Amino acid sequence: MKRTLNSSKSHNGCSRCKARKLKCDEGRPACKVCVDAGAECPGFVPQLKWSRKHEKFDAGGGSQEPKSKARRKNEAKPAASPPLAEDTPVTTEGNEQVVSPVDGTAVGPVTAPAGPPEQMDFDPAMMDWMNYGLGSFEDLTNDNMAQLFGGGQAFAQCDPSSGMASAENRMMPMGLDAYTLPLLSTPWHGNAHTASERSGSYASPAADQAQPASNVPIDQDNDRKDGGSLLGAFYRLATPSKTARFSEEHLVQHYFSEVCSLYSCFDSDQNPFRSLVKEMRKDSTTINLSIQSMAIAHLSNHYLYMAPLGRIKRMQSWKSLQIDLRRYRAGKIALDKVLMSCLLLGLSSAWHQPSDLGLQYLFIARNLIQMYLRSNRQATSPLPNEKFYLDAFMHWEMLASFFEPVAMVPFPGFGAPDPPLPDRGETVTPHPWTGVAPEMNFALAEVGRVLRRRMSRLAMMGDSYAAERSPSDEIDEQWSSSLERLLSSIRLPSVDDIESYADKYTPKTDLLRAAEAYRFIGLLELYMIVPTLLEARIDRGEPFPASLDNQPFPSPASNNGFPARRDSWLSAIALHTLQLIKPVSIHSSSCRTHLLILVSAGSQLRIPSEADADGDAQSEHHDKVLEGRGFVDARMLALSRKYPQKQVLQILDIIKEAWERLDRGELRVHWLGIAHEQGWQTMLG
């Protein structure tokens, strides 16, 4: 009589139940047998096994051994089997058909890879090709990228987070999303990932046999519970068996829950980067991809393996933007959607790679805006939310003016800058980038142009720059004098004149402090590149504008300990600028505008020489400089935790290099020169 077992075999259950010949209830996310045993359920991934049904033996070696005898010999001698031929067929257990990863149709047997799937490790160095500039992405097609990664099918089954093939990826189409960003339906927030959700790896039959037969937790589970893994769990560090997964929906959710407040100096339902993006993303692929890449850049602070995926999303966004430009020229898409895509992609470029200034997006948007401003806006359809876009590009031009490769030439015969200044007393609607004073951004953009021209000439001519003067130098000095008067004459609105924007974490005074700090860093940059302006102001006895709380500007009590009188005044201006933003909480969204303030003012904190200093006033100034440096260092490190950290830490490197040079006694120290010498150019916002 045939012996019957208490439980039948399971052909469709998890590999752990199959190895123990137990009936699996196929419960999801984990079967009951594994849950009762306290073990991690490996999931219900179809297992592949090698078929030797059609294997042919050597014809010249005598008679062929019977199959049963050969099988017993193989079991007695577990030696390494010869490598399989490339055309060896592969079948699935239980006569399951193999599904095509392209269209989901049954394709029958598939060819075997060069080795077992568990040996196909993912090499992170293969992602180095994504460091190329966006200009080279035009030449990268799906086929080219499959060749870079050593074959399309192997690449399609590769899970970057765990280094193994996953069932989800094998069933996904061969688009970029399929083989670059493994997407599961688990929530991105929290750490409540179940066992089967964490296990997306390929489980080989040999691995199943290696598991213990007793119903007790395996050693790996015990190792995770010991004290050595506590810190890793606290940091949410990814391990091969436990890796956070994010779907496109979760990335979009992360943009609206976290990134919106980081990309604006205030955040509420009135923030256009929330309200307009929410509306436009419904029918814009570029905007959808852009906000997903921004979410990945922020998440990569904690999940480092996601950084290459963010660059791939940006590549997709760039290609989608090219399609939008062609559609815009054909009149099939509105201008505001193209401009919004440029705004999202441009200033977030440094989030992925600090040296990427995103200037290609600025050049595209600049041409579109110039054509719009030249057109007859009354005859054509007006741009929706026109003021938002124009002020946003004014802020973008201001940041780019410090690093634009080709410095804009001076404007002979154009006259002094005369922007339209609003009459204070009217209500001011805050802008997510320019805050409450867009005219300050205009003045700083002009300062950046002058500074960029002077620094370019200094780099080309070196020590002979001071001896040789050109007509452009005289134009720049006249222009700088006009900008000094403009910066001093801009009136900021009062708190009552600012419309409410419903952000309890960002009071109105934070926006006013940022605008006032912009005024002083504009003056600071002018006095550094044109020292005669500062000398003339000191000789005239012209006071600096008072702070927001009507406190007078603290002029230096003594010039001793500094190489020159202007150095003591530059240090005093820098300290006063930092005092303006010091009361702002790190939780305030206005911190987004502080990067330029911190690098400009922080890099001019020269410590007076103790050998030449005398008096208590100079000693007090010495302590204030050290305190200011400590504030800059602490605030930059805090911002590196709040914002995508690559960009912020590179700015901190510029500041610390400036301090080192100041402490060595160098006379001409400027953060922009350091950035160009060291290759640390990055967007300061």
The string of DSSP letters for 557-624 reads S--TTSSSHHHHHHHHHHHHHHHHHTTS-TTSGGGGGHHHHHHHHHTT-PPPPTTT--SHHHHHHHHH
Structure-model confidence comparison of residues 522 and 140, the more confident one: 522
Please check whether residue 287 is in contact with residue 340, taking contact to mean a CB–CB distance below 8 angstroms.
Answer: yes
Which of 10-14, 155-159, 397-401, 482-486 is least confident?
Answer: 155-159
Tell me the percentage of the chain whose pLDDT exceeds 90. Answer: 43
- The CA distance from 387 to 491, in Å, is 20
Q: Find out whether 24 and 181 touch, Cβ atoms under 8 Å.
A: no
What amino acid is encoded at 262 in this protein? L
Place of tokens 């060896």: 88
- The Cα-based distances of 185 to 130, 170, 188, 297, 449 in angstroms read 27, 16, 9, 20, 49
E strand or H helix at 50, and its extent? strand 48-50
Question: Which has more confidence, 456 or 249?
Answer: 249
Residue 682 reports pLDDT greater than 60: yes
Q: Give CA–CA dist 191/224, Å, rounded.
A: 15
DSSP 71-100: HHHHHH--PPPPPPPTT-EEEEGGGPPPBP
Most confident of 112-116, 426-430, 615-619, 641-645: 641-645
pLDDT attached to residue 614: 58
DSSP annotation of 416: S
The type of residue at 384 is P
Confidence grade of residue 299 (pLDDT, cut at 50, 70, 90)? very high
Please, are residues 33 and 25 in contact by the beta-carbon 8 Å criterion?
Answer: yes
Q: What residues form DSSP beta bridges with 111?
A: 89
Please say if the pLDDT value at position 181 is more than 50.
no
Strand partners, 48: 92
Decide: helix, strand or coil at residue 559: coil
Listed residue (460, 446, 365) closest to 411, CA to CA: 446
pLDDT, mean of residues 2-14: 56
The amino acid at 88: T
Residue 113 has pLDDT above 50, yes or no: no
Q: Which residue has the tokens 């201001």?
A: 398
Residue 207 above 60 pLDDT? no
Residue 340 or residue 95, greater confidence: 340
d(Cα 319, Cα 307) in Å, to the nearest integer?
Answer: 19
Pull the structure tokens for residue 195: 């066992």
The DSSP secondary-structure symbol of 406 reads S
Question: How far is residue 661's CA from residue 654's CA, in Å, rounded to a whole number?
Answer: 11
CA distances to 213, 284, 303 from 245, in Å: 31, 24, 10
Query: Tokens 């506590």 — which residue?
Result: 230
The pLDDT assigned to 619 comes to: 75
Cα separation, 360 vs 135, in Å, equals: 9
Residue 331: pLDDT over 80 = yes
Nearest Cα residue to 286 out of 330, 246, 336, 245: 336
Q: Both tokens of residue 263?
A: 């990309």
- Whether 304 shows a pLDDT value over 90: the answer reads no
341 or 231, which is more confident: 341
Coil/strand/helix, residue 111 = strand
pLDDT of residue 462: 55
For residue 434, with 0-12 CB atoms within 10 Å meaning exposed, 13-18 middle and 19 or more buried, which class applies? buried
In this structure, what DSSP letter does residue 64 have?
A: P
Phi, psi angle pair for 680, to nearest 5°: -105, 30
Higher pLDDT, 424 or 320: 320
- C-alpha triplet 597, 598, 603: angle, nearest 5°: 110
Identity of residue 545: P
Query: Please, what is the average pLDDT of the chain?
Result: 74
Summarize pLDDT for 22-78 with one digit per residue, the tens: 888 888 878 888 888 878 888 776 656 666 666 665 544 444 444 444 444 444 444
More confident residue, 37 or 99: 37
In whole angstroms, give the CA distance from residue 276 to residue 263: 14
Distance CA 103, CA 118 (A): 25
290, two tokens = 């852009």
The more confident residue out of 101 and 72 is: 72
Q: How far apart are CA 324 and CA 284, in angstroms?
A: 9
pLDDT score at 558: 67
Residue 308 predicted with pLDDT over 50: yes
Q: With contact defined as beta carbons under 8 Å apart, do 14 and 31 qualify?
A: yes
Q: What is the pLDDT of residue 152?
A: 38
Quick one: how far is CA 107 from the chain centroid? 41
pLDDT value, residue 378: 67
User: Which is more confidently placed, 266 or 119?
Assistant: 266
Mean of pLDDT values over 615-642: 88
Q: Where is 631: in which H helix or E strand? A: helix 616-642
d(CA 660, CA 670) in angstroms, rounded, equals 12
Distance (Å) of CA 559 to CA 213, 575, 577, 618? 81, 15, 19, 8
Could you give the CA distance from residue 295 to residue 644 in angstroms, rounded to a whole number? 10
Q: Please give the Cα distance from 338 to 326 (Å, whole number).
A: 11
Residue 59: which H helix or E strand, with range?
none
- Judged by DSSP in three states, 494 sits in coil
The full length of the chain comes to: 685
Question: Average pLDDT in the 368-374 region?
Answer: 91
**Tens digit of pLDDT for each residue in 564-612?**
888 889 999 999 999 999 999 999 999 999 999 999 999 999 988 765 5
Which are the contacts of 392, defined by CB distance < 8 A and separation ≥ 6?
Answer: 343, 431, 432, 433, 434
What are the residue boundaries of the structural domains of the chain, listed by start? 183-191+245-375, 385-678
Tell me the pLDDT tens digit for each residue of 520-545: 999 999 999 899 999 999 888 888 87
Interhelix angle 307-329/359-374, rounded to 10 degrees, is: 20
Torsion angle (degrees, nearest 10) of CA 391, 315, 288, 157: -160
Choice between 28 and 441, residue whose per-residue pLDDT is larger: 441
What's the pLDDT band for 553 if we cut at 50, 70, 90? confident
pLDDT value at residue 541 = 86
pLDDT-derived band at 110 (thresholds 50, 70, 90) equals: very low
| Sign, Cα dihedral of 543, 545, 548, 554 | negative
List the single range of 50-59, 181-190, 454-463, 641-650 with lowest mean pLDDT.
181-190
Pairing mode, strands 110-111 and 48-50: unpaired
**Residue of 24 and 241 predicted with greater confidence:** 24
Nearest to 238 by CA among 348, 295, 124, 162: 162
Percentage of the chain modeled with pLDDT above 70 = 64
Average pLDDT (648-674) is 93
Phi/psi of residue 364, nearest 5 degrees: -65, -50
Query: pTM here?
Result: 0.67
Those residues with Cβ within 8 angstroms of residue 158's Cβ, 6 or more apart along the chain or in another chain: 120, 122, 149, 164, 165, 169, 179
CB 501 within 8 A of CB 266: yes
Please count the other Cβ atoms lying within 10 Å of the Cβ belonging to residue 599: 25
Q: Are 596 and 401 within 8 A, CB to CB?
A: no
